Structure 1
Amino acid sequence: MTMDPRPADLEIGFTHVAHSDQGGRPDAMQLQYYRDHVYVGHLFNSGFSVIDVRDPKNPRPAGFHPAPRNTWNIHLQAADDLLLVIHAKDLWKKFDVEADYYGGSVGSRVKGEPQDWSAGVAIYDISDPGNPRQISFLPVDGVGVHRLWYVGGRYAYASVLPQGFTDYIFAVIDLADPARPVFSGRYWLPGMNSGAGEIPDWDESMWRYALHHAIVSGDTAYASWRDGGLTLLDITDRSDPTRISHRNWSPPFGGGTHTALPLPDRGLVVVADEATSDELGDGLKHVWIFDIRVPANPVSISTLPTPAEDDYARKGRHFGPHNLHENRPGSFISDEIVFATYQNAGLRAFDISDPFRPEQIGAFVPAAPETVVDPRPGGRAVIQTADVYVREDGLAFTTDYNAGLDIVEFTGMSREK
């Protein structure tokens, strides 16, 4: 069902265009926009949906594709007429208390369980964008794949949890023949390969050293390792990634490093730490700006302003960063305007033309969801804006895992330098 735009709690620099409950499955996590269609991975409904947005004011569900039993498809990537969809163990069935999911190494705690789920990457032909057709599957012997980076061409990049590792590691996928994909090189932080006898120098019961995902620019992968911080990887040889540098600010900060967005022309990388607990239970999280003009020595020079129009810390559920608009080819690309989702504080736009003094220039906070889809303890009707994609023309798509898909227009275009 498609609905008129919901009332918003705050609109600065954004105008609400439309809302969709995605055919009655409003639990939306990652989204991809491709050829006037939006692909959405579901957090609880075990599958992914396609939304036709050829008329952005009237988005229409175009199909739901269920996941195999005990499997989630929460992340996906679309480029070059291919849709890559992750398969991994539905970890909410094991960790129904969210803090348990984030509190320690997943691989170590799932080790030895019979694999009654699908693990790997499903690859679809989307030359007809409304009708994905699966053409291959790349399996993983283990928990599966968490997130991908693919913008076309021969290689995709994945966070993968195979048997023998404490948590998700970096892996390269060779798509020279999309019908027969294969894994190429891998990289992990020392201590993660428990199957080879490596011993972590962090407390596995407290911290998750796990790759969320990496964004690749040229021959460098900018990788976010949750409680393990940031690495820059040299992937000139896709079969043998090597580390250029590693920075970790957890502790004293609360970890959860989620997305590292490179702005190579300016020698910067913008890094979002995900807020993973209700009412700031894991501390106030930030979006950091690093100077990487010397790649071997990344230096943090500022953070984006924390939203403060309301008492978001007391609003309920998660307050703080989740993801960034990732400057994908064909999208709105800027090295001076950054878009970030802040969960119960909605969508934000920032001007970082002066990277030492970033300024907020836009905010969109949707109204509370009408229903609560989240089955986990503590579920409440509070927005949790999760992902964002911004088109070249400033039309932005955002997701919420209770409230579905919102389409908004960024009207702060005049601020771009």
Structure 2
Amino acid sequence: MVKVEKPLSKNMELVAWHDLNGQPGFQMALQVVGGRYYLYVTTYYHQGWQILDVTDLNHIQCRHLDDPRGKSGTVHPKIQIADGIMITASGQRVRFLPMDGVDYDDYDAGIGIWDVKTDPMNPKLLGFWENGGGEGIDGVNTHRNFYAGGRYVYTTSSCPGFLNNIFRIIDIKDPAHPKEVGRWFLKEQWLDGMDHVEWDTKKIVPGSLCPYPGYKHYHLHMPQVKDGYAYLAYCGYGLIILDVKDPTRPKYVGGLRIDPPFSDFISCHTALPMSGYNKDYLILTQEMGGTKRQAQFAGIVDISDKTHPTLVSLFPPYSVPEDAPFKNYVEKGGRPGLHNFHQPQGQPHYEDRPDRQYLTCFNGGIRVYDTSDVFNLREIAYYIPKDPEQDLWPIPKMMNDGQVISRCEDVLVDDRGMIYMTDSNGGLSVLRCLV
């Protein structure tokens, strides 16, 4: 490991920082109510959420929101906000992140539906959809769900009778009584459909490869929905496009397989439709699993013909600063590789520029890319935070080498150009791009 004693940056500056009450930040969501900016931050380890008023970045206000359902084995790592409604993902605490006093079998799994418009700093739980169980990628859960307003929440969820997370559509018109109205899955995930295999769910270890010969490890990592089409980042396969104009009957339209050759536990992490071009494009990425490497897939796909999506370009590898005390990000230590792109999702308070994309890279900080020419993608800015003095959560050795090191997770950009980045060991950084 090579410790980074001071931030490394190019064309970016730090505007503000917050310690998130000593909790490791993960996914974020933002809303604007009455001219004030509210940021909601999840964690993969502690219960509850941090709510920050970031209107005045010189005087950030923060409070912790507890889970009113109060089950010690529940975690809430994912979040979505639109139309004054907050959707929180709930699931079983993963056992490789130990915490004293936790009953791992006492948990909720599903989505919480909250009113965050009436009192943004004090959300009110309106209802909860329970997913019923199943065998998810990290136990029984929902994960990186999608909600951009309206009646339907598009989830990646475990499900009884299925192996790993599948696509489930939830109607929240009556938030006190949400209900599933549609689902889609790969046939290899349907346990009852494998009548020639003697399934033993005790052999299915959450997060593991499928233990049955001839069956691949498939799971839906995240959906994105735009203009009646769902774009699924499906691990073990790649991009899958569905017609969801009738949410009760999702229909397969087309796909682009990237696994193989880009095989890994999270071989397809993000499928993100882009806006502002004269053609339909989508960002497609993967996330590194347990194998140390820098080579990962991140590219732009032409989805003008949704029956035959086509890869048209690749993002260049994220650069090593000339003044860095390490030669590459494997040598730096911790977890290298790509994680999250900024996802506007049609929300007016998020920046949505066709010429610019923002990407977090775990131990490589945050990167800004010029995407004005989709055939010539260029890195134009970066910010790598200094490494912290102590761990905020017991990251397993397989994920961070047991080292105290920065681990950049999520990124959001608001309509003021403020860039929010969570670091699971280093709080919340608010940045500005100078180009």
Query: C-alpha separation between the residues in 2 aligned to 1:379 and 1:64?
Result: 30
SS at structure 2 position matched to 1:195: helix
Contact (CA 8 Å) 2:262, 2:297: kept in 1 or not?
no
2:312 counterpart letter in structure 1: I
How many Å separate the matches in 1 of 2:9 and 2:319? 14
Structure 1 residues 16 and 238: alpha-carbon distance in aligned structure 2, compared to 1, 3 A threshold: same
Question: In 2 relative to 1, CA 30–233 (structure 1 residues): closer, same or farther, beyond 3 Å?
Answer: same
State the superposition RMSD in angstroms. 2.3
Contact 2:188 2:216 in 1 (8 A): no
Q: 2:368 aligns with which of 330, 343, 349?
A: 349
Corresponding residue of 1:225: 234
CA offsets, 1:381-402, max 9 Å, x none?
A: 2111110010112101111111
How many angstroms apart in 2 are the aligned matches of 1:275 and 1:190? 25
Equivalent pair of 2:365/2:383 in contact (CA under 8 Å): yes
Residue of structure 2 in register with 1:141 after alignment? 132
Matched, 1:296 2:307: yes
Change (3 A) 1:279 1:203: closer
* Equivalent position amino acid for 1:229 in 2: G
2:417 paired with 1:411: no
Task: Give, in whole Å, the separation in 1 of the partners of 2:291 and 2:410.
Answer: 18
CA distance in 2 between counterparts of 1:399 and 1:96 reads 19
- Partner residue of 2:163 out of 163, 166, 169: 166
Partner of 2:332: 315
Is the 1:277–1:318 contact (alpha carbons within 8 Å) kept by the matching residues of 2? no
- Paired with 2:392 and 2:171, the residues of 1 have a C-alpha distance of 37
In the TM superposition, residue 203 of structure 1 has moved relative to its aligned partner by 6.3
CA offset at residue 207 of structure 1?
5.4
2:331 alignment partner, SS class: helix
- Shift of residue 141, structure 1, vs aligned partner: 0.9
Question: Deviation of residue 208 (structure 1)?
Answer: 3.3
Q: Does 1:119 align with 2:101?
A: no
2:55 corresponds to: 54
Structure 1 length as normaliser, TM-score?
A: 0.87
Kindly provide the amino acid, as one letter, of the partner of residue 180 in structure 1. H
Matched, 1:359 2:357: no
**Any unmatched runs of 5+ in structure 2?**
99-103, 134-139, 198-207, 322-327
Question: Is 1:16 aligned to 2:14, yes or no?
Answer: yes
Give the counterpart of 1:276 among 289, 298, 304.
289
1:394 alignment partner, one of 414, 417, 432: 417
2:175 aligns to what? 178
Alignment of 1:252 onto 2:271: no
The letter for the 1-side match of 2:74 is: T
Give a deviation string over 1:266-320, Cα, whole Å, max 9, x none: 321111211233632xx62121111112111111122111112251121112211
Greater share of strand: 1
Letter of the 1:9 partner, please give it: P
> 1: CA distance between counterparts of 2:47 and 2:260?
34
Contact 1:8 1:364 survives alignment (8 Å):
no
Cα gap change, 1:58 to 1:11, in 2 (>3 Å): farther
Deviations 1:305-337 (A, max 9, x none): 111225112111221110110123121012221
The percent of aligned pairs where both chains have the same amino acid is 28
Check 1:170–1:319 CA distance in 2 against 1; reply closer, same or farther (3 A cut).
Answer: same
Is contact 1:155-1:173 (8 Å) kept? Answer: yes
Q: Does 1:325 align with 2:342?
A: yes
Q: Secondary structure at the match of 1:23?
A: helix
Equivalent residues of 1:372, 1:379 under 8 A apart: no
Q: Please name the residue that 2:406 is paired with.
A: 383
Which whole-Å deviations, capped at 9, do the CAs of 1:67-109 have from their partners, x for residues lacking one?
A: 5211110001111111111111112x1x459xxxxxxxxxxxx
Question: Residue 168 of structure 1: CA displacement?
Answer: 0.4
**Match of residue 201 from structure 2:** none
Report the Cα offset of residue 31 of structure 1.
0.6
Determine if the alignment matches structure 1 residue 70 to structure 2 residue 60: no
2:82 alignment partner, one of 76, 79, 83: 79
Evaluate the alpha carbon distance shift between residue 203 and residue 88 of structure 1 in structure 2; reply closer, same or farther with a 3 A threshold.
Answer: closer
* 3-state secondary structure, aligned to 1:309: coil
- TM-score, normalising length from structure 2? 0.83
Kindly indicate whether the alpha-carbon contact (under 8 Å) linking 2:5 and 2:387 is maintained by their aligned counterparts in 1: no
| SS in structure 2 of the partner of residue 408 of structure 1 | strand
User: How many angstroms apart in 2 are the aligned matches of 1:360 and 1:207?
Assistant: 35
Aligned partners of 1:368 and 1:198: how far apart in 2? Answer: 51
Superposed CA deviations along residues 37-92 of structure 1, whole A, max 9, x for unmatched, are: 1111111112222122121233232223245211110001111111111111112x
TM-aligned CA deviation for residue 155 of structure 1: 1.3
Q: 1:121 and 1:244 mapped to 2: Cα distance? A: 27
Partner of 1:237: 246
**Separation in 2, partners of 1:251, 1:185:** 29
Q: Does the 8 A contact of 1:52 with 1:59 survive in 2?
A: yes
* Residue 199 of structure 1: how far off its partner (Å): 7.7
Q: What letter matches 1:158 in structure 2? A: T
Which SS does the other structure have where 1:231 is aligned?
strand
Distance, in Å, in 2 between the alignment partners of 1:379 and 1:23 is 23
Q: Is the 8 A contact 2:73 2:105 kept in 1?
A: no
Structure 1 stretch 74-83 or stretch 373-382: which is displaced more? 373-382
Give the distance between the partners of 1:370 and 1:123, measured in 2 at CA: 37
1:21-36 alignment runs, 5 A limit: 21-25=19-23, 27-35=24-32, 36=37
| 1:389/1:198 CA distance change after superposition, 3 Å | farther
1:134: how far off?
0.8
Letter of the 2:289 counterpart:
T
